[in-house]
Amino acid sequence: MQLNPGKTLLSAIDKANADLRTLSLKIHSHPELGYKEYYAHKTVTDFMAERGFHVTRHACGIETAFIAEYVHQGNDLDDKTPLRSVGFCSEYDALALGGTGDKVVLGQGCGHNLICTAGVTAALGVKAAMEKHNIRGRVRLLGTPAEETLGGKRPMLERGAFEGLDACMMIHPGQFDVLYRQPLGVGRLEIEYRGKAAHASSSPWEGINALDAIAMAYNAIGQLRQQTLPTNRIHSIVTNGGQAANIIPEETSMITQYRANKNEDLNKLHDQLIEIYEAAAEATGCTVKVEKTMEYMPLHNNSILADRYGAYMESFGVHYNSRQVDETTPAGSTDMGNVTHALPGIHPVFNIASLEGVREPGLSTHSLLFAERSGTELAHKTMIRAAKALSLTGLDVLLDGEFTKNAKDEFDQSKE
């Protein structure tokens, strides 16, 4: 009996399950920081090449980025109409979860081994359906490094890696199932103050205290925080507070991250912070240098894609809160936000601790416990279920022209 494309897709994923589990465990047991994911890059690109994808290693001039693509022209090789194209993102960088220096503890504290394998799973499923049922189109897996630091998707987006895609999607592990996850936009500023060194006891009046500037700025940020929107976030650390207690610090530095759920609010926070840093410099007589080293945009969920993915997940037994509840649930930030402002996309969360949607108390991302859970058989099962829904949604992008047009129309209207 001839299977329909969806059943072919699901069957292909089931057949690949053991290999997918092995792949996930390999990434999990070899944690690597952003832009240093050499093992992950080789492991995943070899995996995709062995399964018939055209693989571009070191894509976009980024050593640990890749693009794996499969194109099927269908029966009519003379058909010149644009191919419908769907993309999936894989992430594979790890986190420093403890320790210092050469004793730092690395781990998949955000479950990127699962994100990586989910993207691979979705792409494999779509490819199997395309081959079996002669479906014209393109499926592209984007290996996007360094999500936890400077964000590989941003330069890949700028260098054309996402061009030609009708939609791009990914999923993320978490402590509960969320359809309309709303990551905030985030900016990262590195601030350096320069004053004048002097002996802190015999001639402090000869110095200009760069630590005072840091202290003033840090305290002013605290005052700003209580007056800003409840959806905004500001957090700072001091990276250099001076070298010795008996020396007036000549050079100090800090890092600030600021977040908001709208671009205009993100820009407003940026301008307010710049005013604080400059005011602290003027008040203390220091000079200041501020550099923006990263900016992720707020995630823009495409409801056409999200609702289709959600329908598949619900058919697998998953239940979601309302969109209003989802969008007010606290979230971090991701460079996938930048992608969703360039083309239709989604970024749902799947619960790694329960197939029934039960939340495990104390389980939080960016923790050693989450890293441990990300390697479990249960986490793999929940990932495979979600990746099947993701893959089916991607297949619909290729098969259903009206569905794809509706997603594109909603995206275009949101940009007006």
Q: What is the pLDDT of residues 142-182, one digit of tens each?
A: 999 999 998 999 999 999 999 999 999 999 999 999 999 89
**Alpha carbon distance 251, 31 (integer Å):** 34
Task: Look at residue 221 in the predicted model and tell me its pLDDT.
Answer: 98
Per the structure, the complete domain to which residue 238 belongs is given by 185-296
CATH number at residue 193: 3.30.70.360
Let me know: does 111 contact 374? Beta carbons within 8 Å.
Answer: yes
Name the band, by pLDDT with cuts 50, 70 and 90, for residue 404: very high
Asked if residue 224 and residue 114 are part of one domain, the reply reads no
**Alpha carbon distance 196, 222 (integer Å):** 26
Task: Look at residue 328 in the predicted model and tell me its pLDDT.
Answer: 82
- Check whether 103 has a pLDDT greater than 90: no
Task: Look at residue 1 in the predicted model and tell me its pLDDT.
Answer: 38
Q: Of 255, 273, 296, which residue sits at a domain end?
A: 296
Rounded to two decimals, the pTM is 0.92
For the residues 193-219, what does the mean pLDDT come to?
A: 97
Asked if residue 394 and residue 347 are part of one domain, the reply reads yes
- Check whether 2 has a pLDDT greater than 70: no
- What single DSSP character describes residue 90? E
Task: Look at residue 77 in the predicted model and tell me its pLDDT.
Answer: 67
Asked if residue 190 and residue 143 are part of one domain, the reply reads no
For the residues 34-48, what does the mean pLDDT come to?
A: 99
Among 95-99, 176-180, 204-208, 279-283, the range scoring the smallest mean pLDDT is 95-99
Q: Of 259, 281, 296, which residue sits at a domain end?
A: 296
Residue linked to tokens 């007010």: 328
- Provide the terminal-to-terminal Cα distance of the chain, rounded to the nearest Å: 48
Q: Of 296, 326, 358, which residue sits at a domain end?
A: 296
Contacts for 369 with CB less than 8 Å, ≥ 6 apart? 362, 363
Asked if residue 335 and residue 287 are part of one domain, the reply reads no
Number of domains, the chain: 2
Asked if residue 120 and residue 12 are part of one domain, the reply reads yes
Q: What is the mean pLDDT of the chain?
A: 95
Render pLDDT for 289-308 as a digit per residue (tens, 0 to 9): 999 999 999 999 999 999 99
Render pLDDT for 196-206 as a digit per residue (tens, 0 to 9): 999 999 999 99
Task: Look at residue 49 in the predicted model and tell me its pLDDT.
Answer: 99
Q: Are strands 185-194 and 287-296 parallel, antiparallel or unpaired?
A: antiparallel
Asked if residue 143 and residue 38 are part of one domain, the reply reads yes
